[in-house]
Amino acid sequence: MPSRFETGRVTLRMYGHTSGVEGALPALTATTELLPGPFHAAYPSTIEPAGKGKVELVCLAPGNAEGKTPGVLFVHDEYSHARRKLEVARFLQQRGYAVVLVSMPGSGASSGPSDWCGPATQAALEVALRKLAHLPGVDPARLAVWGQSRGATAAALLAAAHPELKAVVLEGATYDLAAAWRAGSPELRAEISAEAGADSARWKTRSLLASAKRIRTPVVLFHGEDDPIAPAATAHAFEAALLAAGTPVEAHYFAGRGHELPPGSIRTKGMLFLRARLSH
């Protein structure tokens, strides 16, 4: 199993005393640096140009010489980056998928700042999708995109521009930025305004409700009914908009859940969806 971090520092302190002597002995201290292990070293990051900046990618490919391996572009959630998703990428790879992880602008080693799924984010995802399609052994006709939280919003916007994709998996996406701003905390409102601006027109370009009719790829979405960041009503509205446009959609709502969703259930259902959509 890959660890949840690659580098770190551990400090050990040993305290002791002697029998019959009052007071503690001087503490002994040792500090050591933790370095990436074999798993992380086997999958180094690559840096690619994206628009006016650069984007960090991590590629995991089974290397099927026949060129028939399906591929998944995985987009992380906010406050994360590509390399933090190596565990889920390895999970997908072991089940026969090539995977490209991407750090959105302002995350990992990608250029910043973050623009909340705006033009810089879409440029980065375009680079990542092209990289996936051209990995050795990947079938470019069987590609999917999987996103978490803000990464799910970015993934769906990418799908709106790429009807050739075969599957889209969305975990806790923000479907309407204006609704998220109205329902959000002061901190969330400030973050939206700082990254996406206060212009409602800019918010609309990041709204999946406005883009639903352009998404032709089958979608599976997961959402908490008590999500305080992305109101569940917008997820239901997005599902209805996809159905009205004739796009196949499978929706799973979790009662009593907020923005944090049960990973085991999502992984099981998400894999079933990918298998059905990416098989020959």
Query: Residue 31: which H helix or E strand, with range?
Result: strand 28-34
Cα separation of 92 and 77, whole Å?
Answer: 17
- What CA–CA distances, in Å, run from 143 to 50, 82, 216, 279? 20, 18, 14, 11
Identify the CA nearest to 185 among candidates 231, 229, 230: 229
Per-residue model confidence as pLDDT tens for the chain (280 residues): 677 788 899 999 998 877 766 666 788 999 999 998 888 899 999 999 998 899 999 999 875 556 689 999 999 999 999 999 999 999 999 999 999 999 999 999 999 999 999 999 999 999 999 999 999 899 999 999 999 999 999 999 999 999 999 999 999 999 999 999 999 899 999 999 999 998 778 898 999 999 999 999 999 999 999 999 999 999 999 999 999 999 999 999 999 999 999 999 999 999 999 999 998 7
- What is the pLDDT, as a whole number, of residue 16? 82
- What is the pLDDT, as a whole number, of residue 66? 64
Cα separation of 227 and 188, whole Å?
Answer: 13
- What is the pLDDT, as a whole number, of residue 279? 87
> Residues 124, 65, 90, 79: what is their CA dihedral angle, to the nearest 10 degrees?
0
How do the domains of the chain map onto residue ranges? 1-37, 43-278
| Number of DSSP helices (H) and strands (E) in the chain, helices first | 10, 10
Among the residues of the chain, which ranges form H helices? 38-42, 86-94, 119-133, 150-161, 177-183, 186-196, 200-205, 208-211, 232-244, 263-278
* Burial status of residue 260 (CB atoms within 10 A of its CB: 0-12, 13-18, 19 or more): exposed
Please name the residues in contact with 258: beta carbons below 8 A apart, sequence gap of 6 or more: 224, 226, 227, 228, 229
Query: Under a CB-based contact definition with an 8 Å cutoff, are residues 59 and 135 in contact?
Result: yes
Cα separation of 218 and 205, whole Å?
Answer: 21
Report the CATH superfamily, name and number, of domain 43-278.
Alpha/Beta hydrolase fold, catalytic domain (3.40.50.1820)
- What is the pLDDT, as a whole number, of residue 64? 56
